[in-house]
Chain A
């Protein structure tokens, strides 16, 4: 087991109250595996990613749980060791590739910085390796481009550069937070291909955070569905798409527009919106939007239980078996 997360809880301490952005979630990621974490915008996915590196911005912080990476608990270790893991053991890709790159440093120097820090290369070795990494992530003429600044790159090229930085410390886990959301459709496909290629080359595990079910289908082996800071369903990607169990998962899958469905057929979204985290519905937080929920759902949040050997679901209306 590469990553074991147990009962991870991250809160934001706001003037209006405590916002439970990540509310006691547990999951594993195996060596070399791709796990997707999906859910609507604002359900806490990015906070999970930042929690894994213990990097939640103030006034938030991880308040409980264990994050065991490679046998070590990230929440217990010294700051020095944690910095070795950030960028070294765990790499991270951000949603907005333009924003993740420092505008006043060249692409090459931002890659070299990580290479010198995590792999102890000297200036010249780092530059050669930066060129190789840019080439590997599919940037043409990398020996020229390392001298370019982020603003001189297109969105897709910036994301490639961000990926090059993320893999430069040879991480065993890559956290990809919405890696394709800010990109054109054609570029999205290229980035998905690139991530799959790099994963095979470097034998990395990927934690893919996205709300794009197409990307999930392309990349993930297992899927975790998140709602209001909790995981509500876990399943293999084929099982999940073929037969979603949780009504929220069904809703997500149903809201993907289908080609050939005809103009008459209305787009089906999930009614309502993600509730306010500071004022969550009682019991199962999904019940006000749920097509099959009833009075039995309003007292307590259902626990995530196994319904078959490989599947878990947190819903009173879903039978085991």
Chain B
């Protein structure tokens, strides 16, 4: 197994290089460079062109594309992500601040997705065609179809603006520093409710539908009938024999949803002013902040590769028929 993981990681290197190159090209070919955006955003249009040229030289923006590329890639390989034009701080420091916020959000959303999605999927399949099943099937279709930004805005409108139950945005209250540790925790949780809900519920809807169809498929298998013929309780038949088989492909979905949750976080973080990776990326794109854009894209690419690898490795752990080693038959 460890050989398999090493092999996969080596295979990921050219893939990540490709992502790096394509992203670099797209970002640099897009109209406007960091200088233009910097001046635009600050209304400094009338500044002396010679000064602008000097700043361009300082950041190496005057050099041909391939020189910039080699320089950037060389630094990247040494673990140096560069310095943000916009924030004038090392990109690694910006990421170190943003990542914990995004992880908070996506990990909780993933948890919500798994708990709600799998549970509803099971109920739905076991009570096929019941009122509950129909509610889940139709409800999940509606939720899955709603754009997350619209859902987020509606929830903010209803629960924050009209009812005042939850904050509209931010990660903590203004008086956070003066709260006791328990109140701090409650304050953080209070701010997390809406963004986690929006982020998790749409993927939970997808999970529920997938879980339902997988479990229905498995319940028709002969080993389920055989388990019943052995006198097992219905609970054991479904929660042990059927569920274990139905969950195997769900694991792949989870591995692949790792970058999806980060992608979804771009929109949700922007709406809720959540200082995570997604918001960092959006602001960086608006400012043409090349080093930050490239760093966030590379992280998303690495996460996709890792998510795939984790899915494949877990697959082998939960399904005895899947093995990445050459084993002697019993």
Contact = CB atoms under 8 A, between A and B. Distances in A.
B222 interface: yes
Interface in B35-81: none
Contacts of A148: 330
Nearest to B244: A104
A101 B223 contact: yes
Interface stretch (A84-92, A245-253, A254-262): A84-92
Interface in A60-109: 83-88, 92, 94, 96, 99-106
B217 to A, nearest CB: 14
Given A103-B321, A151-B321, A152-B329, A117 B231 contact: yes
Contacts, number: 81
A100 B223 contact: yes
B30 interface: no
A113 B223 CA distance: 14
Contacts of B321: 103-104, 149, 151
Given A100-B222, A104-B245, A145-B330, A151 B320 contact: yes
A18 interface: no
A103 B223 contact: yes
B241 interface: yes
Q: Is the interface of B mostly helix, strand, loop or mixed?
A: helix
Chain A: number of interface residues, binned into ranges:
35 or more
B232 A99 contact: no
B248 A104 contact: yes
A103 to B, nearest CB: 6
B228 A88 contact: no
Interface residues of B, number: 24
A91 to B, nearest CB: 8
A169 B228 CA distance: 14
Contact of B230 (A57, A103, A153, A165): A165
Contacts of B222: 94, 96, 99-100
A196 interface: no
Contact of B232 (A103, A117, A151, A152): A117
28 contacts: A53-B228, A53-B229, A55-B228, A55-B229, A57-B220, A83-B232, A84-B231, A86-B228, A86-B229, A86-B230, A87-B229, A87-B230, A92-B226, A94-B225, A99-B221, A99-B226, A102-B223, A103-B320, A103-B321, A104-B245, A104-B248, A105-B241, A106-B320, A117-B232, A149-B320, A152-B329, A165-B230, A169-B230
Closest 9 CB pairs of A and B: A87-B231, A86-B231, A87-B230, A99-B222, A100-B226, A152-B330, A149-B320, A83-B231, A92-B229
